[in-house]
Amino acid sequence: MKGKIDANIYYFCLLFFTVMKIQINGLEELPGVANKLLTFAGEQRIFLFEGEIGAGKTTFIKAFCKVLGVEDSVSSPTYSIVNEYEASGNTVYHFDFYRIKNIQEAYDLGYEEYFYSDNICLIEWPEMVQDLLPEHHVKVEVSISGEQSRAFEFTKI
């Protein structure tokens, strides 16, 4: 009975609270965090990943893509800006805006076709295109809390 009550409280929190915090102590815990993000997000399809270089944004995105059903090898689109993956009948777009020099590059890429396609968009370095981001999204903050430890904070906006 306790497990059922815990699960009900968990889902109640997902429905009525817009922030979730998770602490992990190793990479083996990433699939669990990815599952929690998917549940937390509900119908949201835009995910903004924030954190310093080396925090583990791309590593977490790899785990999240696996949970979404991506079977391809997932890598950072640092130079291509966007990678496309198929996932269980859905399309996943993975952006890395770290290297863009100005907002015009996002326009040239045709960001609207991606962001407003109703497909899943995973966006690293969203601050580089802040003015173009959809109003509603899930912000995923990844921070280093130890050599192997990471803190995650999910926020629905």
Q: Quick one: pLDDT at residue 2?
A: 45
The two three-digit tokens of residue 39, written as one number: 């549940």
| Three-class HEC string of 127-139 | HHHHHHCCCCCEE
Q: pLDDT tens for residues 82-133?
A: 999 999 888 999 999 998 999 999 999 999 999 999 999 999 999 999 999 9
Distances (CA, A) of 19 to 84, 94, 131: 28, 23, 23
Q: How confident is the model at residue 8 (pLDDT cuts 50, 70, 90)?
A: low
List the Cα angle 41/33/87 in 5-degree steps: 60
Q: How confident is the model at residue 12 (pLDDT cuts 50, 70, 90)?
A: low
Name the DSSP letter for residue 120. E
pLDDT top residue among 19 and 2 = 19
pLDDT top residue among 151 and 4 = 151
Query: Percent of the chain beyond pLDDT 70?
Result: 89
Q: How many contiguous H segments (helices) and E segments (strands) does the chain have?
A: 5, 7
pTM of the model: 0.85
Neighbours of 84 (CB within 10 A): 13
What whole-number distance in Å separates Cα of residue 74 and Cα of residue 40? 22
Q: Quick one: pLDDT at residue 134?
A: 94
Q: How confident is the model at residue 1 (pLDDT cuts 50, 70, 90)?
A: very low
Long-range contacts, stretch 72-76, CB < 8 angstroms, 24+ apart: 76/124
pLDDT top residue among 6 and 42 = 42
Q: pLDDT tens for residues 27-59?
A: 899 999 999 999 999 999 999 999 999 888 999
Residues near 16 by beta carbon (within 8 Å), at least 6 away in sequence: none
Contact criterion met (CB below 8 Å) for 117 and 123: no
